[in-house]
Amino acid sequence: MARSRRKIREQANCFLPYLACCYFVQIPYTVCQRTSKVAKMSVDWVGYGYAALVTSGGIMGYVKAGSVPSLAAGLLFGGMSGFGAYRVSQNPKDIWVSLAASGTLAGVMGMRFFKSRKFMPAGLMAAASILMVGKLGVDMLQKPHQS
């Protein structure tokens, strides 16, 4: 088993970039022979979940109430949040796109919640956005992991 896995890893190193070879061989940390770089795949699952929540909220607002602005805002901010999660997955210190999207939504939806006092949808989105801003702040303040 170990011999065949090593052979697959060597073949992958010859043909694929170092991140892709680590993904296909399913090794979270590995040193690729060609590039001699350590590949670490960390995915921002919370960010992707937040992006899905924002996008699905915009779609639900359109389906239930026929609100085109809700659909446009959901798709715009959901796309920004998804792109921000992708950027955080590539570089954990690159939080600015995610922070802009979640911070803007926290402000806008927070004001809507305080005016209407209705938890759905403004309170839920304000709470999720505030939690996302807090998560990004905590991630930014943490020291980088030593490998």
> For 93-130, what is each residue's pLDDT tens digit?
889 999 999 999 999 999 999 999 989 889 999 999 99
Looking at the fold, whether 32 and 49 belong to one and the same domain comes out as: no
| 50 and 36 part of one domain | no
CB contact burial 20-35 (16+ within 10 A = b; e otherwise): ebbeebeeeebebeee
d(CA 103, CA 12): 41
Domain match, 36 and 51 both: no
| 13-48 pLDDT tens trace | 444 444 444 444 444 444 444 544 545 568 999 999
Question: Do 126 and 64 reside in the same domain of the chain?
Answer: yes
Question: What pLDDT is stored for residue 4 in this prediction?
Answer: 59
Structural domain including 85 reads 45-141
d(CA 23, CA 40): 10
- Token readout for 147 is 């490998």
* 26 in a structural domain: yes
pLDDT bin (cut points 50, 70, 90) of residue 142 is confident
Same domain, 57 and 34: no
> The whole model's pTM is what?
0.69
pLDDT, residue 30, reads 45
- On whether the CB atoms of residues 34 and 13 are closer than 8 A, the answer is yes
Asked if 52 and 70 sit in the same domain, the reply is: yes
Q: Are strands 38-40 and 29-31 parallel, antiparallel or unpaired?
A: antiparallel
Domains contained in the chain, number = 2
